[in-house]
A = this chain, B = another copy of it.
Amino acid sequence: MSTSLIRKEVDEALLAFVDRQRPALLTISDDLAPLLSALGALLGGGKRLRPAFCYWGWRAAGGEDGQAIVRAAASLELLQASALIHDDVMDSSDTRRGQPSVHRRFEALHGAQAWPGDAEAYGAGAAILLGDLCLAWSSEMFETCGLDGDRRRRGRDVYDLMRTEVMCGQYLDMLEGTRGEASVATALRVVEYKSAKYTIERPLHLGAALAGAGPDVIAALSGYGLPLGIAFQLRDDVLGVFGDPGETGKPAGDDLREGKRTVLIALTAERASAAQAAALRRRLGDPGLDRPGVDEVRAIIEETGGLAACEAMIERYLGEAERALRSAPITAEARHALSGLAVAATTRSM
């Protein structure tokens, strides 16, 4: 299957899964309908990167095309939906994928209905619960994908590890954000667990494990997936500061307002003069940071050479991933598809 065809099949599998849940929810109460529409809106966006890597991990390990692997792969989008919904609550983000974030959507529902009580708390509570539902449904969708029990058992070990890793990575990300002084090495550790493993390496491993891959294929997929995953996150960090809001789906400078301690920021801080460092400290994490403030931070990131250093790191990790891919013991078709995904993951925002 081509990457765009996989995307279409993943979309259909997700729609079918949510449609199967719909009657159960509406039998409990019509009042649950807003949960379904909020999830539908969120799932309408996203580039389905994780399912694509899972699918090609499966094919790389000799798995045959079919609906069951598409459903297993699509379940990763529900896990990701859970992570995004909860992340947006934690960061108080207003938008996601170019639309209001889930908690803001329920806050608006509260306002529109003129209910008494605290609209913001209502929005956050609804988002916590919908994120929980998505997390529960991701494992339900995986377990009911149609692959046999032995395959699922092998895949489940990867799935379990991946969930623990991403939740721990998120915690460390928040910790470094609040401490406010991550070194490049510390920021890279967060990237490894929160992004590189979660977005690329583990989805590849999941597909490969489901197909019964041996340790050589698993190792080769790590050789490609981990550096690619780091390059992916560094590209995302650059886009978070310099990207076009129309493409990123987030207002310009949101990462700066949230005070994210990215590798890009750490590379900049390493190179900053005392005056630049002071300006950086003042601007980062300021929720009221305006456009001139964003421009000032952008200038510092460029003038210190932080941006150039980050671009060079992206190139280095990408080169490492490409070299690993060339010598990986996988089919030519999988190699070709993974090469295309490497480009897709590091040239656009997710």
Contact = CB atoms under 8 A, between A and B. Distances in A.
A171 to B, nearest CB: 5
30 contacts: A21-B164, A24-B161, A25-B168, A28-B169, A29-B172, A31-B171, A31-B172, A31-B175, A35-B168, A86-B129, A89-B128, A92-B121, A115-B180, A117-B285, A122-B178, A126-B171, A126-B174, A128-B128, A128-B131, A131-B132, A133-B164, A133-B167, A133-B168, A135-B135, A136-B139, A136-B160, A136-B163, A139-B139, A140-B160, A149-B149
Contacts of A153: 149
Nearest to A179: B115
B143 A156 contact: yes
Number of this chain's copies in the assembly equals: 2
A135 B132 contact: yes
Contact of A168 (B29, B179, B193): B29
A120 to B, nearest CB: 11
Given A125-B90, A128-B90, A171-B35, A116 B179 contact: yes
Interface of A: 21, 24-25, 28-29, 31-32, 35, 82, 86, 89-90, 92, 110, 115-118, 121-122, 124-126, 128-129, 131-133, 135-137, 139-140, 143, 149, 153, 156, 160-161, 163-165, 167-172, 174-175, 177-180, 189, 193, 259, 285
Contacts of A121: 90, 92
A286 to B, nearest CB: 12
Given A29-B172, A124-B90, A126-B174, A167 B115 contact: no
